[in-house]
Amino acid sequence: MGAAISGSGAEPRKRAVRCQTVPNRSYEPGQAAAGQPPRLAARVLENLGSDRVIANLEVSGPGFINVTVTDAAILERLAARAADARLGVGSNAEAGVTVIDYSQPNIAKEMHVGHLRSTIIGDALVRALEFTGEKVIRRNHRGDWGTQFGMLIQYLIEHPTELDEGTEPDDSGPSMSRLNRLYKASRAKFDSDADFADRARRRVVELQAGHAETVASWQGMVDESKVYFEAVYARLGVLLEDADAVGESYYNPMLADVCADLEASGVAVRSDGALCVFFEDIKGPNGEPTPLIVQKSDGGYGYATTDLAAIRDRVGMLGANQLLYVVDSRQALHFQMVFETARRAGWLPDNVRALHLGFGTVLGKDGKPKTRSGETVRLMDLLDEAVDRARTVVAEKSPQLASEELEDRAKQVGIGAVKYADLSTSRTRDYIFDADRMVSLNGDTGTYLQYAYARIQSILRKAPEGVTPTAHQDLALEPAERALGLLLDEFGATIELVAETFEPHRLCAYLHSLAAAYTTFYEHCPVLKAPSREVMETRLLLCQLTGQTLRQGMDLLGIGTPERF
Ligand code: ARG
């Protein structure tokens, strides 16, 4: 069983010893006198008697020690976990402050599947880190600034009503429909009308100078996009709030200062009029060094400058000692250069960790990226598709459901399925968006977990009056009960692992094996028809704790657990 469980108090972030028999990989036969693991292991055994916890010890192979814990010890741990609101998972006393940058949609643009992944993964990491005791500050680094706004605002000012006429709300709602039309119309004008393009460029200058009418128009677009983003967040059920939306525009007033400091310290140098940071090991295809441009030769600032200002703010003002960025893997080089620049400038001291948590691409069933083939796939369409499939699955299982309840459950199942499919693949890999597979009741799906949870609740509801889940510690356990009990004990260690590796798929894999171990237990060990009251109560406790663990675990993934299916 995992060593890191305590009823209360702190679980250390690093476990010194794990009570698992793993081979000593560095051992090579005949390496040294001390390198006689079988004899050493035998001596360890001589000094460890069996007691209440250890039922049996045995040397095996080249120095493994197999430890068998007693049934009583397993039952005791289960009882303690079941009695604790945190299921016996401690929190980290040395927790720090993490700023996590995720979701990051762009104003006046449709969100795409890349933003979906960032939102889902970021949300799960926030939940896991917070559960370990970390102070987490969410930053939705929205793309709400840049030259494209000149074009949009100029068009809007010249055609104040045109966009309202005949606006049919599209699938992502009236706001996005309006903004999509605005984007297309102004882009077309910008590309075909040189005078308009000039006016649009002047508009950017006015925006940066804080010209009232221009800023008001920009704000209107931000607000309109917000309506759409919030609809997506509400549909997904994520933690992001308005206060977390600190977009690129927030850092705009700091950019001149960032550049001046970089130039003064010599971290950045002028090259063909632009202010650049060079790196020895980063070269373009032609072998020439590729710099990070922090100020363009026309005086404009870019994406990188904003990220540098954000680092200064997050470390200096927010007191972060860990910075996480949940962004598409294709931006790896950008973050490598930004972090290195910030280190050189002293804004990212050695005791602050900065990590780009990249992720792979979402593919269609044809194996092609969902974002790249022609028209971007609308996020809301993908979510609707999953909810539709879920509705069919739920209606089949529960034909008696009233339509409102069916809708509610279809949403939990469909959205849960999308999240689980995203989180259960290792973060950096691409995956195929296949709504049918996602909502399958058998397999590695969120739906399977939700179904397992609901089945457990149904058994608990059927328990006879006066029979309460209790671990009777003198009972002998069946192998399937032991296996389930030992797995339940791994929950705390799994969460710790997720928080250390930033890999939610480890929690998915754990929950999936837990549901599978429960199924085996349920097949071999009758609960409501158990041979005695003690056995029934003990098995009910196993059911209850499995349910609690599934619910808590899925909650950390942001996935709902309907009580009935
Ligand atoms: N808005 C950007 C995009 O859609 C992602 C921003 C990522 N975060 C950051 N701090 N650079 O590609």
Question: Average pLDDT for residues 351-380, to the nearest whole number?
Answer: 82
Query: How many DSSP H helices and E strands does the chain contain?
Result: 18, 11
- Tens digit of each residue's pLDDT (9 = 90 or more) over 126-155: 999 999 999 999 999 999 998 889 999 999
Q: Ligand 1 mean position to 498 CA, how many Å?
A: 24
With a pLDDT cut of 90, the percent of the chain lying above it is: 73
DSSP-assigned states of every residue in 439-467 = T-SSSSSHHHHHHHHHHHHHHHHHSPTT-
Whole-number Å distance between alpha carbons of 486 and 220:
56
Pocket mutation for ligand 1, best pick of 110, 121, 301, 331 (most atoms within 8 Å of C-beta) = 331
At residue 332, does pLDDT exceed 70? yes
Buried-state track 286-307, b at ≥16 Cβ within 10 A, e below 16: eeeeebbbbbeeeebbbebbbb
Q: Ligand 1 mean position to 105 CA, how many Å?
A: 7
Residues in contact with 62: Cβ distance below 8 Å, sequence separation at least 6, in sequence order: 23, 27, 29, 37, 38
Q: Name the token pair of 509.
A: 């894999």
Q: What is the largest CA-CA distance in the chain?
A: 90
CA dihedral over 204, 209, 212, 217, signed as positive or negative:
positive
Whole-number Å distance between alpha carbons of 371 and 426:
20
The number of CA neighbours under 13 Å toward the Cβ of 286 is: 3
Whole-number Å distance between alpha carbons of 339 and 279:
12
Strand-pair partners of 135: 97
Strands (E) located in 287-437: 292-295, 322-326, 353-357, 362-363, 431-432
User: How confident is the model at residue 175, as a pLDDT?
Assistant: 67
Q: List all residues whose CB is within 6 A of at least one atom of ligand 1.
A: 101, 104, 106, 141, 143, 307, 325, 327
Going by C-alpha positions, the residue among 389, 519, 508, 503 that lies closest to residue 451 is 519
Average pLDDT, the chain: 89
Question: Average pLDDT for residues 514-526, to the nearest whole number?
Answer: 97
The number of CA neighbours under 13 Å toward the Cβ of 499 is: 27
Q: Name the token pair of 471.
A: 């671990």
Whole-number Å distance between alpha carbons of 363 and 366:
7
DSSP-assigned states of every residue in 516-530 = HHHHHHHHHS-STT-
- Tens digit of each residue's pLDDT (9 = 90 or more) over 30-68: 444 455 777 887 887 777 765 788 888 888 888 898 989
108 sits in the region (left: phi over 0; alpha: psi -120 to 50; else beta) called: left
Q: Ligand 1 mean position to 291 CA, how many Å?
A: 19
Q: Ligand 1: which atom is nearest the Cα of residue 143? A: 1
User: How confident is the model at residue 43, as a pLDDT?
Assistant: 81
Question: Average pLDDT for residues 345-366, to the nearest whole number?
Answer: 95
- Tens digit of each residue's pLDDT (9 = 90 or more) over 459-488: 999 999 999 999 999 999 999 999 999 999
